[in-house]
Chains A and B, each alone.
Chain A
Amino acid sequence: MAIQAEACTVKFGLALLLAFAIGCGGAPSGELSFLAVGQGDCSVFRAGGKTILIDVGPKTQTFDAGEKIVLPWLRQQGIGKIDMILLTHPDSDHVGGLAAICAKKRVGTVVIPGHFRTHAGMNETLALAGVRQEDVIWIDRTMEADFGGFTLKMAPPPWNPEASDNDGSLFVWIGKGNATAVITGDAGVETEMQMAPKGDWSADIIHAGHHGSKSSTSDAWLEEVDPKICVYSCGRDNTYGHPAPEVVDRISRKGIRAYRTDRDGTLTFRYENGVFVLRQ
C-alpha cells in the first residue's frame, strides 16, 4: 500500500514537471520592449521566434546593465539566443553591456554603422566581448530586412570622424501595418534633419533621441515621425537632467503620450490587432 502511494506521488511529480515544461510558453508574434537599464539604452524586439537587441545598456565602474538587468530579463522571458544585436554607436551607455551578454548568450550577428569600422572604442568593445569580425556586419547604406514578418530598416546617417559619435547613430525602424516604431540612438537635431528626407520614418512609437536630451527629438523630426507614443530611456535621478524639460514640453504640446523607463520601469509593447499595445 505504502509503495503504491509513493509511486502515485512520483507520478504526480512527473506530471507536474511535464506540465511545467509545456507551460513555459511560446514566443510572441511581435513585441518591443524598452528596458529600464538606467542612464543608457537597450531595446529588445521579438518576432517569429527571433530576437534583436538594439543597444545593450550601459556599463560603469560599479554597474553593468548587461549583467544586472538585460541578462536576467532575457532569462525571465525565456530568451536563450539573440539573433542580432544592433549597436547604434560606440558610447558606453549603449554598448557597455555587450561583454556580459556575449559571455552568457549565443549571439548571431552584430550590426554596426560602417563609419565606426575604425573607431578604436567600438573595436575595443567588440574585442572585449569576444565578437569575431566575421560576425559583424558593418552597414554603409540603408538596409531593409524581413524579421518575423516585420520590416526592419537600418540606416546609418552621413557622418565624419570630426563629428560627435552621437551623430553617427544608426536609425532603426520596425514596422508591420500600423505597428511601427523608430529608434535613433543619440542622434542630434542636425542628423535627424539629414535623415528625415531619406525615407518614410513615420511611426506610432518614437524612442526619444539621446535619452530625451534637448539636442534631439526636434519639432521637425516629430513632424516627420508623427508618433502617438514617446518613450524616454533615461536613468532615475540622472545628473544630465534627462529628459530635458524642453523636450517633455514639446512632446506633451503635440498630445503624444509619454512613458519613461526611469519612472515606469521596463516598457513592453505587444503587437495586437495590427498595432503596438502597451502591456500592463
Chain B
Amino acid sequence: MPPIVKELQSRPIVLYAIAMGLALSCRAHPWQMIFLVPVLAVASNWTTRFAALALVFVGILTAPSPAKSLMEREFVNRTMDIVTVPRTGKSGDWCIAEGGGTRLGLFLGESKTSLSLGDRIHLKGVVRTLKEGSEQFWLSKGVIGTMFIGEDNEVTVLQSGSPIFRWGMSWRQSFISFAATSLSPRHARLADALCFNLDALLDKDLQENLARTGTVHIVSASGLHVMIFAVAFQLVLSKLPIPRWAQLVLLLFFLLIYAGATGFRPPVLRAVVMVGVMMSAYLVRREGDLLSAAGLAAIAQFFLDPRSVFDIGFYLSFLTVAALSLFMPLDAPRGGKEWLLRGAQASFVASLASAPIVALIFGRVSLISILANLMIGVSIGPIVAGGLLAWLISLVSPSLGGWLMSVGVAPFCTYLEWVVNSLGVLPFAAVEVPAFSVYWIPIFYFVSLALWRFKRRPAP
C-alpha cells in the first residue's frame, strides 16, 4: 500500500474535505464526482465512508451554480446582505452583496457609506453588466453585475453585522493613515500591502517584479502574515500571567479582527482555523497535526462560503500547506546554517507545490522564487510585526511610533523593493508556460503524492 494512503487513512478529515470539495463543484463539473471513488476507497472503515458521504450530501445541497453575467442593465430595489469584507481596489473600495439568489459587486467609490461583512442593506439603483476583462474574476465569486454607490444609486444599512469586522476595518484605516504620515508614499503603500493586503495600490512595475520573482504571495494576506501576527502576539501573551486557555481565546479574538482587516480571504481563514487548532493542541499539551488542521479549515471554509471551491487563492493556500506538511522535515532546525537550509527547502516545496496552478492561471513560472523568497524572507517579519507594533505605540506616542516606522520598517521596505526589483528584471527570472489542460494538474499532484515517503523523526 503506498505510504500516502496510510497517511490519509489516519487523517480522515482530509478525506472529508476532498469529498465535500468535489461535491461543491458538482454543478459546474459534474463528472468530477468520479474522483469520489478513490477517496472512498482510501478510507479505512465504513464510518469514515459514511461521514464522507454525509458531507458529499451537504456539498451537493449547497453546491453553487455557475454564475452568468447580466446582459442588460437592471434596476434593483431589494434587501441584501454583505458577504465579504470591503477590499480596496484600483477603482476604490468594493464588496459583495447577496440577496434574492444573486450576488452583486458594490463599488463604494467616493460615497461615505461604510459597509462591513454581515451588514443587512437595502439597495436601490441600476446594476451594470460585468465588463469584458473583469468578467472571470467576478463570475468566480458568483457576482453577476456591479453597482456604483453614489451614482444615483442608494444603499441604506438596515442592520449592522458583527462589530469585529468593523473594528478590523477601522484598524486597517488607522494603519493606512499612520503609514502615510510616517513613511514615504512608496514605502507606505508597500507596508499597507504587506500588513493588510492592500496590493492593488502598489506601482505596476513592482507588482510585475513580484510576480516574476514568485514573491507576490507576500503582498496578498496569507498564512504567513497570520503566522507572523500569531507568533508575535503569542510571544507577548506568553509573558503575561494568564492561563493558556485565556491566551488562546485572546489570540483567536485578535486573529479574527486581523483576518477581517485583511479581507477575510480563504488563505487567511485557513490560517486562522489552523492556528486555532494548533493552539488548542498546545492548550491540552498535545502535538498539533498540520494536515488535519488544514482539512478542518477547508471544511470550515466550504461551510462559510461554498464558492471558495472556485477560488484560486483557496487552492494555492491549501496545496502549499499540504505540501509543506508532507514534505518538510519534522525536527526543528538547529543553528543558523540549518535554518537557512530549511528556509530554502520550504521555499522549494512551496514553489513546486504551487507551480502547476500558477502556470495554468498566470502562464508563467518564476525560476528564481527560491532565492527571492529566501532573500526577502528576513524583511517580512520586521515589516509586518514592526509596522503593527509601531502603529500600536503610535496610539500612545505618535512621535515614537513614527520614529520606529522610519527607523525599523523603512529600511526593510527599501531592502525588499531592491531585492524584488533587482531580481525581477533579470531576463531568466520567469519563463512563459504554454497553455495546457487543467487535467494535468491532478496528474501532477498524483505523481507527487506517489513519490512521497514517510518522514522519519530524528532520534531524541
Which residues of A approach B to under 8 Å, CB–CB?
Answer: 6, 9-10, 12-13, 16, 20, 23-24, 36-38, 62-63, 65, 68-69, 72, 75-78, 80, 104, 235-237, 262-263
Cβ–Cβ contact B132 & A16, under 8 A? no
Give the number of chain B interface residues (Cβ < 8 Å). Answer: 24
Q: Which of A76, A80, A236, A263 contacts B131 (CB 8 A)?
A: A236
Report B132 CB to chain A, min CB distance, Å: 4
Which one of B98-106, B402-410, B443-451 contacts A? B443-451
Q: Which of A12, A75, A80, A235 contacts B132 (CB 8 A)?
A: A235
28 residue pairs A–B, Cβ–Cβ below 8 Å: A6-B451, A9-B447, A9-B451, A12-B447, A13-B447, A16-B440, A20-B436, A20-B440, A24-B436, A36-B132, A38-B132, A38-B133, A63-B131, A63-B133, A63-B134, A65-B133, A69-B132, A75-B434, A75-B435, A76-B435, A77-B435, A78-B434, A80-B434, A104-B432, A236-B71, A237-B73, A237-B128, A263-B71
Report A58 CB to chain B, min CB distance, Å: 10
Cβ–Cβ contact B131 & A72, under 8 A? no
Q: Closest residue to B69 on the A side, CB-wise? A: A236
Q: Give the CA-CA distance A78 to B133 in the complex, in Å.
A: 20
Cβ–Cβ contact A72 & B129, under 8 A? no
10 nearest A-B residue pairs (beta carbon): A68-B133, A38-B132, A237-B129, A76-B435, A236-B129, A13-B447, A75-B363, A9-B450, A36-B132, A75-B435
Q: Give the CA-CA distance A24 to B134 in the complex, in Å.
A: 27
Cβ–Cβ contact B130 & A236, under 8 A? yes
Cβ–Cβ contact A69 & B447, under 8 A? no
Chain A residues near B132 (CB, 8 Å)?
36-38, 65, 69, 235-236, 262
Q: Give the CA-CA distance A10 to B451 in the complex, in Å.
A: 8
B residues 116-143 touching A (CB-CB < 8 Å): 128-134
Q: Does B337 contact A (CB under 8 A)?
A: no
Q: Does B152 contact A (CB under 8 A)?
A: no
Chain B residues near A78 (CB, 8 Å)?
434-435
Q: Give the CA-CA distance A235 to B130 in the complex, in Å.
A: 10
Q: Does B156 contact A (CB under 8 A)?
A: no
Write the B332-357 contact mask toward A (1 if CB under 8 angstroms, else 0).
00000000000000000000000000
Report A61 CB to chain B, min CB distance, Å: 10
Chain A residues near B239 (CB, 8 Å)?
none
Cβ–Cβ contact A62 & B91, under 8 A? yes
Report A17 CB to chain B, min CB distance, Å: 9
Report A2 CB to chain B, min CB distance, Å: 8
Write the B415-456 contact mask toward A (1 if CB under 8 angstroms, else 0).
000000000000000001011110010010001001100000
Q: Closest residue to A71 on the B side, CB-wise? A: B363
Chain B residues near A13 (CB, 8 Å)?
447
Q: Closest residue to B3 on the A side, CB-wise? A: A2
Chain B residues near A37 (CB, 8 Å)?
132
Q: Give the CA-CA distance A38 to B443 in the complex, in Å.
A: 36
Write the B57-93 contact mask toward A (1 if CB under 8 angstroms, else 0).
0000000000001011100000000000000001100
Q: Closest residue to A9 on the B side, CB-wise? A: B450
Q: Which of B128, B434, B447, B450 contacts A24 (CB 8 A)?
A: B434
Chain B residues near A20 (CB, 8 Å)?
436, 440
Q: Closest residue to B434 on the A side, CB-wise? A: A78
Chain A residues near B434 (CB, 8 Å)?
24, 75, 78, 80
Cβ–Cβ contact B131 & A38, under 8 A? yes
Contacts A38-B132, A65-B132, A237-B128: A72 and B443 contacting too (C-beta < 8 A)? Answer: no
Chain A residues near B440 (CB, 8 Å)?
16, 20
Chain A residues near B130 (CB, 8 Å)?
236
Q: Give the CA-CA distance A37 to B451 in the complex, in Å.
A: 44
Chain B residues near A10 (CB, 8 Å)?
451
Chain A residues near B447 (CB, 8 Å)?
9, 12-13, 16
Cβ–Cβ contact A62 & B90, under 8 A? yes
Chain A residues near B72 (CB, 8 Å)?
237
Contacts A77-B435, A78-B434: A72 and B451 contacting too (C-beta < 8 A)? Answer: no
Q: Closest residue to A236 on the B side, CB-wise? A: B129
Chain A residues near B73 (CB, 8 Å)?
237
Q: Give the CA-CA distance A221 to B67 in the complex, in Å.
A: 39
Report A164 CB to chain B, min CB distance, Å: 25
Q: Give the CA-CA distance A23 to B133 in the complex, in Å.
A: 28
Most interface-central of B132, B434, B437 (chain A CB within 10 A): B132
Q: Give the CA-CA distance A62 to B432 in the complex, in Å.
A: 25
Most interface-central of B69, B73, B128, B130 (chain A CB within 10 A): B69
Chain B residues near A38 (CB, 8 Å)?
131-133
Q: Give the CA-CA distance A82 to B69 in the complex, in Å.
A: 32
Q: Give the CA-CA distance A16 to B442 in the complex, in Å.
A: 12
Q: Give the CA-CA distance A37 to B132 in the complex, in Å.
A: 6
Contacts A38-B133, A237-B128: A16 and B443 contacting too (C-beta < 8 A)? Answer: yes
Report B131 CB to chain A, min CB distance, Å: 6
Chain B residues near A237 (CB, 8 Å)?
72-73, 128-129, 131
Chain B residues near A76 (CB, 8 Å)?
435
Report B428 CB to chain A, min CB distance, Å: 16
Q: Give the CA-CA distance A78 to B363 in the complex, in Å.
A: 11
Q: Give the CA-CA distance A78 to B437 in the complex, in Å.
A: 12
Q: Give the CA-CA distance A72 to B133 in the complex, in Å.
A: 10
Chain B residues near A24 (CB, 8 Å)?
434, 436
Chain B residues near A235 (CB, 8 Å)?
131-132
Most interface-central of A38, A104, A235, A236 (chain B CB within 10 A): A236
Q: Closest residue to A37 on the B side, CB-wise? A: B132
Q: Give the CA-CA distance A248 to B130 in the complex, in Å.
A: 23
Chain B residues near A104 (CB, 8 Å)?
432
Q: Give the CA-CA distance A10 to B130 in the complex, in Å.
A: 45
Chain B residues near A62 (CB, 8 Å)?
90-91
